[in-house]
Each structure stands twice: as C-alpha cells, then as structure tokens.
Structure 1
Amino acid sequence: MQAGTICAVAGQAQRQMRAWAADHPALYDAKAFDPALFSTLALAAAFSGPDLGADRLAVANKVCLWCFGLDWLIDYAASSRDEVAGLVRRCAAVADGEEPAPGTPAEDELSRFLAGIRDELRAEPAFPGLGDVWRDELQRMLDAMALEWDWKAARDAGGDAPSFDEYLANADNLGFAFVFVSHWIASGGGGDVTAVREAGWAVQRVIRLLNDLGTYERDLEWGDLNALLLGRPRAEVQERISALTAEARVLIARARDGAPRLADYMERQMDFCAGFYGVTDFWGSL
C-alpha cells in the first residue's frame, strides 16, 4: 500500500515540477530536461518522505528543480569564468533580497525562480531561526559549483585535476544540503542545528560518490569531473562509500534525537540514491 501512495505522490509532484518548468521555458528548454528527469526527481522526494503529500514536498522539489537549472547554466552553458562569477553574484544578490537584475532570458528566469523560493521560505515560521543556515548553504553550493568549473577549465587547458580528497571536500556542488535545509524550513524546523547540518553534509558526501558511480559514462561524454577519473579505481570508491555511509548513519542517529522525521528523510534519500544510481541517473541525453 505504501508503495502505491509513494508513486501517487510522485505523480502529483511530477506534474507540479513540469508546471514550474513550463513557467521558465528559457531555463528548462534543453533536451536534457526530459520527462524522466521530472519523474525520477519526484520519486526521490516521495520515497524520502513517504508520509508526506505532494504539497508538503513541494518546496524540496521546487528547490531541487531550481538547482538543476543552476547546474545546467554553470556546468554546460557558461563559456567563461566571468559568466560563472556573474551567476554566483546574481543568485547571492537575489537571496539577500534584491530584485533580479536583467540578464539573458535563462538568467532572468533563474533569478525570478529563486526570488519566488526566497519569498516563500521567508513566510515560513521556521525561517527566522534557519534563514542564515539557508543563506550559508546556498553560498556553499554556489562557491562549490564555481570551483568545479575552475577545475574543469584548468584540466581542459592541460593543468592538473583536483585530488580525490579535494574533489570530495567540494561535495556542496551537489546541492543536497541546500535542498535539504529548504525542506527543513518548510517542514517547521526543529532539531539541533549543528547535528542536523553535520548529518546532511555526511549524506551529501555519500550521494556525491554514488552519483559518480552512476554517471561515469555520461561524465565522460559531457566532460564532467568524476571520482573515477581522479586516479581511484571503482572498488576503492565503493569502499569509501561504505565508510562514508557508516559515518552518515552515526550522524543521522545523533540528529534523530531532536528531529526524527528529518533524520528519516535524510536516511531514506541516501538509501534511495544507493539503489537509483546503480541503474541510471537523473539527466536525459544532450
């Protein structure tokens, strides 16, 4: 019965996500934003919160979709460091309350989408206590995406790639922690802030490497960085995932004392990704 409910909620969430994307056509018109992307993102959220309806997962799904738009613009559309820096400044300014500045159609839609998310979260009772955390996680993600762009540009110019440990330390570019804190605010807050954030970062590191195992072939085609391209064989990366997963479960258990539902959400997200990336990934083809 629960499986049916999860799939039903995912179907509702998918329709919501497709409507949000339709409101921002210049941002989501690339072929890579195919129907399966919306479906699988919706399933990830529905599985992680099996007792939550689509409306209660809407913020997580909206922010996740926004992050995919940002990732597309930085990773694949940006052709210069100035473009990347401009996107980072633009998003930071909107998060701080400024009105979106004029740009390209895709940049305008990215900014407008973020402004709507910002305003929606500011209306939540938990925002005064977690707003600074939200802003910090956004900046961490923006800076991490920009750093990965720098690494790729240096590699393509014949320079050195980052070490495996440097790459893993930049896991904020994945965006999980930013999406999660947005869901946290929309869910009413609660829990020990330090414990919940540490658990979220641990889960993010696990998902970063799970993603790399599942996207290796696509990363080769698209020219992305990947842990398997940094001198570590698959077996060693899998061993590291096992160790990081054990560490994450310890930190999730600590967070569970004051925030059991948030802890469950994080753990289920991690477990979903362990199965999901063994078969496919979210992006469609170019």
Structure 2
Amino acid sequence: MIPALTTAQDGTGTGPEPAGGGRDELRDAREQGRICGVAVRGQRDLQASAAAHPELFPAEPFDAMLFANISLAIAFGAPWCTPQQLRVANRTVLWGFALDWLIDHRAQSQDEVDRLVGRCVSVAAGEPPAADDHLGAYLAALQDELATTPAFAAHRSLWQDSLGATVGAMAREWAWRAAWRSGDRAALPSLDAYLANADNLACTIVNVAHWIHTGDEATLARLDDLVAVSDEVQRALRLANDLGTYERDLRWGDLNALLLVDDRAEVEQRLAALVDDCRRMLVPLRSDCPREADYLARQIGFSSGFYQLADFWGMS
C-alpha cells in the first residue's frame, strides 16, 4: 500500500501511533480538518492572486472550484506544512493551469505556441517580461518569490530545466492534438511517447519549486533522486488524470491516453505498473527524506481518489 501518514500533537508532522497501536479516529479527523483548513487558506490566496491578474485568469474557467481543487491537492500532499510554506507550490500550479489554458485552448498556431514557450524560458533565464506579457509577469513574480529562498541560487538551473521541460511538453502535445483534430491519427504518439511527455502535466515543476522553497539540507542533497521519482509519479498521475477525465477531454478536443490504445485495460495496467515502480523507487529515499517520500506517495493516493469523482477544471 501507499504509506499513510500520522500527525504530531501540534498538527504539523508525523507522530507516534496511539497506545495499543489502534486507530485514533479523533486524531485522524483532526489531521483531516487541519488539511482542509490549510486548503481554505490556500484557496483564498489563489483567488486573490488571480483577481490581481484578470487578463490572465478569466472567471471562466478560472473559477472558485479550480482554486479549491488546487489548494486541496497541495494541502493533502504536505499536511505538515503551513499555508505560507505551500504558497509557492499553489501558485506554481496556478501558473501551470494558465499556461495550459493558453496553449491548449487559445493558441491558434504553432508560431503562437512557440512564442508562449519562448517568453516563459526567457523569464526563467532572468529576462523581464514584456509589458503585455501577462503570463510572463505572473511567472516573474513567482520566480522572484522563489528566489527569496536561500536554496534557489544553488538550484536555479534545476528550476529552469523543469520549466523548460514543462513548456516544451505542452508545446509538443499541442502539435499532437492539432494533428489529431485534423484527422491525422498516424501523427498520434504511442503510449510510451505520450508518457515520456508527461511534463505537460506540470507536476514535477511544482515539486521542484516546493522542495527548493521548503526543503531541508537532506532534501536538497537528494534533489536529483527526488526528481527522478517525481517524474515517475508524474507519469502515473498523467494516466490517473486521463482515466478520470476522458469524457471531458472528448468534449474539449484534448488528447487522452485512452485515444492511443484499443483497450482501456491497457492504460489501467500501465498505471498499476507505474504505481508499483513509484513504491519501489521511494524505498531508498525513506531513510534520508521520509517526509518527501510521503509527499510523493500522497500525491498518488490523493489523485487516485480525487479522479474517481471530480476534475480540477470546474467547467464541464
């Protein structure tokens, strides 16, 4: 099983099992209540952040449900963190959704996609955004906040690499989707190629931002190993997302793993294999980075439950 977490007496970390080793329902409920409280704080911050950038975050599809879903996912992944500690992760997710929306549903040409990608890469390299570049301005502010963390200077290249992988993967999927919409099914990727492009989910870049922002010395020393597991988790979440959002993807004209295979069972079996790989890869990290191992495991656990009933986008 994906390992469960327990909560310390102060509600911010792991703690011992109750006397006798039985389940403590009161403590479990207290932890879940605190997670929800952290998520509410995160939602309010995301709403305020989006309201300050109305050109980038129109009310539809950037509605209250999207903000709530983002903050819930981040809070459940790291229940030991404070709302302030999770602010960078939340805002990185929101930036990813804005990029996804602009590329998937607003860009009309490969040139437009390439310009979006180029602007993001330039901002990550330290160039100021153009006056009319709302996405770049939001990214620059996010990066400025991340740069206040002492670890950012030493790990800026990792942040830049993760950002480049994310925007590049979204651009690659745009080309695949454009070919599919035009009827060129032969241009669609194999399932393996699709999973190799899972950075378009923008999961690892969020994890990198979170670890740079909050990581202790042991976490920062194992960043390469953590990112390797995060990439595998990202592939698993890509499939969990696709299995849960297939009908919406059909309505929106989005690419989905189920369009690439003849049998849904193939995707389900691949997801199960990826989860097994993640469990195996997490084992050697537990001695040095137990919380970060739990963080990655909880991402899989949360998504496996969430997508049974809901979707991040509030729009149908």
Q: TM-score range by the shorter chain?
A: over 0.9
Deviations 1:164-212 (A, max 9, x none): 1111111010000001100010113524222111110010000000000
CA distance in 2, matches of 1:101, 1:205: 34
Does 1:173 pair with 2:173? Answer: no
Structure 2 unpaired stretches of 5+: 1-29
CA distance in 2, matches of 1:251, 1:123: 31
CA distance in 2, matches of 1:54, 1:150: 37
Q: 1:18 maps to which residue? A: 47
* C-alpha RMSD of the superposition: 1.2
Q: Which of the residues 151, 161, 173 maps onto 2:176?
A: 151
Does 1:248 pair with 2:278? Answer: yes
TM-score (ref. length: structure 2): 0.86
Does 1:42 pair with 2:42? Answer: no
CA distance in 2, matches of 1:30, 1:231: 35
Residue type matched to 2:98 in 1?
A: G
Deviations 1:39-62 (A, max 9, x none): 111111111111111111111001
Deviations 1:99-132 (A, max 9, x none): 10244xxxx2211110011111122111123211
Pairing of 1:127-276 with structure 2 (within 5 A): 127-159=152-184, 160=186, 161-188=188-215, 189-276=219-306
- The answer to which of 261-270 and 71-80 deviates more is 261-270
Deviations 1:14-48 (A, max 9, x none): 00010011011111115122211111111111111
The answer as to whether partners of 1:190 and 1:258 remain within 8 angstroms in 2 is no
Q: 1:3 maps to which residue? A: 32
Q: 1:111 maps to which residue? A: 136
Tell me how far 1:134 sits from its aligned partner: 0.8
SS at 2:130's partner residue?
Answer: coil
- The answer to which of 272-281 and 182-191 deviates more is 182-191
The answer as to whether partners of 1:71 and 1:145 remain within 8 angstroms in 2 is yes
Does 1:284 pair with 2:314? Answer: yes
CA distance in 2, matches of 1:281, 1:220: 14
Deviations 1:78-114 (A, max 9, x none): 01111100000000000100110244xxxx2211110
Residues matched between the structures, number = 282
Residue type matched to 1:250 in 2?
A: R
The answer as to whether partners of 1:95 and 1:115 remain within 8 angstroms in 2 is yes
The answer as to whether partners of 1:6 and 1:50 remain within 8 angstroms in 2 is yes
Residue type matched to 1:52 in 2?
A: C
CA distance in 1, matches of 2:267, 2:183: 25
Tell me how far 1:69 sits from its aligned partner: 0.5
Larger Rg: 2
CA distance in 2, matches of 1:25, 1:253: 44
Structure 1 unpaired stretches of 5+: none
Question: What fraction of aligned residue pairs are identical, expressed as a percent?
Answer: 49
CA distance in 1, matches of 2:227, 2:276: 17
Structure with the greater relative contact order (CA < 8 A, sep ≥ 6): 1 or 2? Answer: 1
SS at 2:173's partner residue?
Answer: helix
SS at 1:270's partner residue?
Answer: helix
TM-score (ref. length: structure 1): 0.95
- The answer to which of 231-240 and 112-121 deviates more is 231-240
CA distance in 2, matches of 1:90, 1:183: 23
Tell me how far 1:253 sits from its aligned partner: 2.1
Tell me how far 1:256 sits from its aligned partner: 2.8
Q: 2:125 maps to which residue? A: 96
- The answer to which of 255-264 and 222-231 deviates more is 255-264
Q: Which of the residues 64, 72, 82 maps onto 2:101?
A: 72
CA distance in 2, matches of 1:14, 1:90: 27
The answer as to whether partners of 1:74 and 1:84 remain within 8 angstroms in 2 is yes
CA distance in 1, matches of 2:59, 2:113: 19
